[in-house]
Amino acid sequence: MTELRYRTISAEELALGDGKEGRPALVAYKGKVYDVTPSKLWRNGKHVNAHLAGRDLTVEMGAAPHMEDVMNSFPVIGLYPDPTAQAAEASDGPAATSTSSSPDASAQSGPGDQSARDSASAGADREPAAFISWLLSHHPHPVSVHWPIALGVVAAMLTLLELLWPLLPFSQFSPDATDGPLKVSWRYLLQQASLVNVLICALFSGPAIWTGWLSWVHNYRSKDSALFRAKIAWSWVLGAVLLVLLFVRFAMPFAGQLDGGLWYWVYSLLVISLAPIVILLGWYGGKITFPSA
C-alpha cells in the first residue's frame, strides 16, 4: 500500500484522473498527486468552474482564496515529478534562501533592496495569530464585502432617480407629496433612502477593507500582482469617496436640501460615483477568487 501511494505518476496517467464519467478526480500540487474525488467541491472534476482535475495546479493554487494546507485534507496517492512543481517547491526550500542571500546576490541588489524584500515577505511568512486564523476560516471578507457593493449601487440608483424625477414621464401624474400627515415630497424620500444606503455602505466598508487586507496578507501571502494592486488602490478610492461625501453631506450648508446649490450637486455626484467604484471592486474580487483556467 505504501509503495502504491508514493509511486511516480506520469502526466498521461494524471490526465486520466479528470473526474468525469466515474473516473477519479486527481490533481498535482508541488510534486504530489492528491485524490480529491470525495470532495463535493470537485464534482465532475471541476472546482468553482475554474480549476480542472487531471492537471498540475501548482501555479493556479497561487491565486486560490484559501491557504495551501487545504491540500492536507486529501490523501496523497503518488508523486508528480513535474518541472514546474519542482521549481515551486525549490523556491520555498533552503536552496532558494541560500541563493538569495549569497554574497553575489547581495552585492547586485544592495542592502536597501535586500531589506525591502525581507520586510515585504515578513507578513507573508509569519503565521497568523489564533484569532486571525479563526476569523479567516469563517471567510469574513466575502461576508462583509457584499454590503458596500450592493448598497453602494442602490444608493447611486436612488440618487440618480431623485435627480431625474422631474424629467420622468410619470412624475406629472404623481402627487408632489405622499399621503399622510408628514406631506414630504417623493424626491425627499428618495434622497433619504439613498442616505440610509450610503451610511450602511460606509459602515461595512471598513470591515470589508480590513478583512480583505487580512486575506491578502495571510491567505495570499501578500502576493504582488496587477489584480491585487488594482483592488487595493480602488479600496483606498472607495474609502476616500465615502469620507468626503459624508463630510459634505453633514458639514456643508444646504448639501442635504433638494436643489441646494453647489454642495448638493457635489454630494449627489459623489454618491453616484459609488456605483462604478464598488462594481469595479467586485469585478477585481471575482477575477482573484475565480481566475480563468
| Per-residue pLDDT at 249 | 93
Q: CB within 8 A of 148, min separation 6: which ones? A: 201, 202, 204, 205, 208, 238, 278
Distance between CA atoms of residues 198 and 147, nearest Å: 11
**Cα 210–213–217 angle (5° rounding)?**
145
Alpha-carbon dihedral angle through residues 140, 141, 144, 146, given to the nearest 10 degrees: -140
Q: Which of 11, 19, 172 is nearest to 80 (CA)?
A: 11
Q: CB within 8 A of 270, min separation 6: which ones? A: 241, 244, 245, 248
> What share of residues in the chain are helix, strand, coil (percent, to 5)?
65, 10, 25
CB 284 within 8 A of CB 227: yes
| Per-residue pLDDT at 291 | 63
| Per-residue pLDDT at 155 | 97
Q: CB within 8 A of 65, min separation 6: which ones? A: 215, 219, 220, 288, 289
Alpha-carbon dihedral angle through residues 63, 5, 137, 236, given to the nearest 10 degrees: -10
| Per-residue pLDDT at 159 | 96
| Per-residue pLDDT at 258 | 78
Distance between CA atoms of residues 255 and 129, nearest Å: 45
Q: At what angle do helices 130-137 and 186-214 cross, to 10 degrees?
A: 130
Within the chain, which residues score under 70 in pLDDT?
Answer: 1-6, 48-50, 62-69, 82-127, 170-184, 291-293
Number of other CB atoms surrounding residue 186 within 10 Å: 16
Q: Which of 109, 128, 61, 70 is nearest to 88 (CA)?
A: 61
| Per-residue pLDDT at 193 | 96
Distance between CA atoms of residues 270 and 251, nearest Å: 15
Long-range contacts from 66-71, C-beta under 8 angstroms, 24+ separation:
66/219, 67/218, 67/219, 71/29, 71/32, 71/34
Q: What are the structural domains of the chain?
A: 2-91 (3.10.120.10), 93-126 (no CATH), 132-289 (no CATH)
Phi-psi region of 34 (alpha: psi -120 to 50; beta: other; left: phi over 0): beta
Reduce the DSSP state of residue 212 to 3 states and report it: helix
Reduce the DSSP state of residue 25 to 3 states and report it: strand
